[in-house]
């Protein structure tokens, strides 16, 4: 006895089957036929580019030739209607109702093998998605910083309050970009013996620092703390007086990016200053666009 | 009648402080202002009007001459024994240098306080 669904291999089709045992003189598809169409044929039609379906209808030799021709066509139509019901629209390239022309046996043969429809699904495999290039890191992990100029002010005779206004050049070493950052903050200072009011610093040397993740220059924009070590500077001569910068921008915090060193020690340039010790809190702002470095930084 | 005799220590102290302030102000112009000008030129920074005034050498010359004149006047008065005018001159010189120093600090810190962030994404690739 023929199977209700018999897979067909060895053809160029993606999937093919002979749906047999359709009731005699009828075109009603069996549950097994519908299941195969729903689970094997239709999903493949959906996932292929420009798919099409070929349908070949058959009939057993029992009965009138013309009737068998008609019933094989109706069996093809039954398959088409079911697929259209599921997909809405589909491309049927071949619909060939062969009637009993290829059926074997005598005039009374009613073998279920011949009461059948062959269904073939064709289509093209979608190309593999093109791998997108990995986006290059938007920043760098190697930076350096130097003071371009800075002024600290602490009122004479009033020991305690201090204001800092410093300008730093921060260099993205990897991408060879640099930008100016300004720090403005207020805090406290230990009194000094010289009531100089202003402590001044010119352009100093670079200090290298790294970040645990790639960051752009604008990532450093945000709150910061600024510390002044004890020291004295008169012109180019200097003893002590390092400044230390702790960057606490929201971007760095949200990226969980750590700086090494966490508090960056920076030497000042030529200037005039007498500092006992100071600590201020303020904002480290990116004041200019990051521009390419021309020549050696 | 009670006569109060006071020494010239107060006037001298004020004069010393004024002189130190003036020295730091002048050194500020000599050291910091050229560095700031170079930075502004290199990065094409926009600076507020107050900063432009502070960066002008004429401002320093005016302040320095005024303060030095007042200090010279105070010294002269001290020499001739006129302490009250000496105190006034010394006080005025202190006020002038203090005001000029405050203005310099304000003007220098102004760009750092008022400039807006420039996101790096707007910059061209090198």
For residue B2, the distance in angstroms to the closest alpha carbon of chain A comes to 31
Confidence label for A211 from pLDDT (cuts 50, 70 and 90): very high
Q: Name every chain A residue with its beta carbon within 8 A of the beta carbon of B36.
A: 148-149, 167
pLDDT score recorded for residue A193: 67
Q: How near does any CA of chain A get to the CA of B1, in Å?
A: 35
Query: How many contacts does A have with B, using Cβ atoms within 8 A?
Result: 133
Residue in chain B closest to A183 (alpha carbons) equals B112
Other residues' Cβ atoms within 10 Å of the Cβ of residue A31: 8
Mean pLDDT of chain B: 79
Q: Is A71 helix (H, G, I), strand (E, B) or coil?
A: helix
Residue B4 has pLDDT above 60, yes or no: no
Output the pLDDT for position A266.
92
Instruction: Say yes or no for a CB contact (<8 Å) between A200 and B126.
Output: no
Residues A179, B43: C-beta atoms closer than 8 Å: yes
A79: closest CA of chain B, how far (Å): 58
Position A117 scores a pLDDT of 93
**Which residues on chain A are in Cβ contact (under 8 Å) with B122?**
289
How many Å lie between the alpha carbon of A252 and the closest alpha carbon of chain B?
15
**How far off is chain A from B15, nearest CA to CA, in Å?**
12
pLDDT tens-digit map of B46-92: 788 888 888 888 888 888 899 889 989 988 988 888 888 888 888 89
Nearest CB neighbour to B118, from listed A194, A201, A288: A288
pLDDT at A137: 58
Q: Which residues of A touch B43 (CB under 8 A)?
A: 179-180, 287-288, 291
Of B28, B101, B115, the CB nearest to A287: B115
Residue of A nearest to B106 (CA): A165
Tell me the per-residue pLDDT of A175-199, one tens digit each, with 9 for 90 and over.
Answer: 888 999 999 998 888 877 666 678 8
Q: pLDDT confidence of A294, banded at 50, 70, 90?
A: confident
Sign of CA dihedral A82, A87, A90, A94: negative
* Three-class SS of chain B: CCCCCCCCHHHHHHHHHHHHHHHHHHHHHHHHHHHHHHHHHHHCCCCCHHHHHHHCHHHHHHHHHHHHHHHHHHHHHHHCCCHHHHHHHHHHHHHHHHHHHHHHHHHHHHHHHHCCCCCHHHCCCC
Q: What is the pLDDT of residues B77-86, one digit of tens each?
A: 888 888 888 8
Mutate to test the interface with B, among A285, A293, A297 (most CBs of B within 10 A): A285
The tokens for A64 are: 């009138």
If one compares A2 and A25, the residue with the highest pLDDT of the two is A25
Out of A164-173, A245-254, B2-11, pick the least confident: B2-11
Of the pLDDT bands very low, low, confident and very high (cuts 50, 70, 90), residue A240 is: confident
More confident residue, B31 or A181: A181
8 Å CB contact between B22 and B64? yes
Using pLDDT thresholds of 50, 70 and 90, give the confidence band for residue B1: very low
Tokens of B5: 């005799």
Which of A163, A178, A184 would you mutate first to test chain B, the one with the most B CBs within 10 A? A184
pLDDT at A209 over 90: yes
Q: Span A100-110, mean pLDDT? A: 86
* C-alpha distances out from residue B77 to B66, B89, B96, Å: 17, 9, 19
Q: What ipTM is given for this predicted complex?
A: 0.78
Give the Cα separation of A195 and A198 in Å (integer).
9
Residue B1 C-alpha from the chain's centroid = 43
Whole-number percent of chain B with pLDDT over 90? 2
Whether residue A291 has a cis bond before it, omega within 30° of 0: no
Question: For position A133, what pLDDT does the model report?
Answer: 65
Tell which residue, A62, A56, A106, A103, has the closest CA to residue A80. Answer: A56
Q: With an 8 Å Cβ cutoff, are B112 and A184 in contact?
A: yes
pLDDT at A3 over 50: yes
Structure tokens of A78?
Answer: 């039954």
CB A184 within 8 Å of CB B112: yes
Asked if the Cβ–Cβ distance from A165 to B118 is below 8 Å, we say no
For testing contact with chain B, the best of A153, A161, A237, A251 (most B CBs within 10 A): A153
Whole-number Å distance between alpha carbons of A236 and A197: 20
Which positions in chain A touch B21 (Cβ < 8 Å)? 156, 195-198
Mean pLDDT of A75-103: 88
| Cβ pair B112:A182 closer than 8 A | yes
| Mean pLDDT computed over A215-221 | 89
pLDDT at A264 (0 to 100)? 93
So what's the pLDDT on residue B60?
A: 82
Q: Which chain B residues are Cβ-neighbours of A182 within 8 angstroms?
A: 111-113, 115
């Amino acid at each position: 006895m023929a199977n209700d669904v018999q897979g067909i291999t060895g053809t160029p089709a993606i999937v093919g089957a002979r749906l047999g045992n359709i009731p005699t003189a009828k075109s009603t598809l069996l549950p097994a036929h519908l299941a195969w169409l729903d689970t094997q044929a239709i999903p493949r039609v959906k996932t292929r580019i420009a798919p099409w379906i070929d349908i070949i209808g058959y009939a057993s030799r029992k009965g009138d030739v013309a009737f068998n021709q008609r019933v094989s066509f109706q069996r093809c139509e039954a398959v088409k209607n079911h697929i259209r019901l599921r997909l809405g629209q589909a491309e049927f390239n071949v619909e060939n109702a062969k009637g009993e022309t290829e059926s074997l046996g005598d005039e009374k043969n009613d073998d279920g093998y011949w009461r059948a429809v062959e269904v073939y699904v064709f289509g093209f495999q979608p190309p593999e998605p093109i791998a997108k290039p990995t986006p290059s890191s938007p920043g760098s992990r190697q930076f350096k910083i130097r003071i371009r100029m800075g002024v600290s002010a602490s009122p004479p005779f009033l020991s305690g309050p201090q204001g800092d206004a410093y300008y730093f050049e921060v260099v993205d070493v990897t991408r060879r970009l640099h930008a100016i950052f300004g720090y403005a903050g207020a805090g406290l200072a230990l009194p000094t013996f010289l009531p100089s009011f202003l402590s001044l610093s010119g352009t100093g040397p670079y200090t290298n620092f790294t970040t645990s993740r790639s960051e752009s220059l604008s990532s450093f924009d945000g709150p910061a703390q600024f510390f002044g070590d004890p020291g004295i500077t008169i012109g180019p001569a200097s003893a002590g007086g390092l400044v230390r910068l702790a960057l606490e921008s929201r971007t760095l915090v949200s990226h969980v990016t750590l700086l090494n060193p966490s508090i960056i020690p920076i030497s000042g340039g030529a200037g005039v200053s007498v500092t006992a010790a100071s600590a201020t809190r303020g904002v480290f702002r990116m004041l200019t666009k990051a521009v390419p470095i021309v020549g050696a930084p | 009648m009670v006569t109060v005799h006071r020494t010239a220590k107060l006037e001298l102290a004020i004069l010393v402080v004024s002189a130190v302030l003036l020295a730091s102000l002048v050194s500020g112009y000599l050291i910091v202002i050229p560095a700031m000008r170079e930075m502004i030129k290199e990065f094409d920074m926009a600076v507020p009007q107050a900063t432009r005034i502070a960066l002008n050498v004429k401002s320093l010359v005016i302040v320095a001459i005024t303060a030095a004149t007042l200090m010279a006047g105070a010294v002269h008065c001290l020499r001739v024994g006129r302490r009250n005018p000496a105190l006034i001159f010394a006080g005025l010189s202190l006020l002038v240098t203090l005001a000029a120093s405050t203005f310099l600090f304000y003007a220098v810190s102004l760009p750092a306080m008022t400039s807006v962030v420039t996101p790096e994404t707007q910059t061209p690739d090198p």
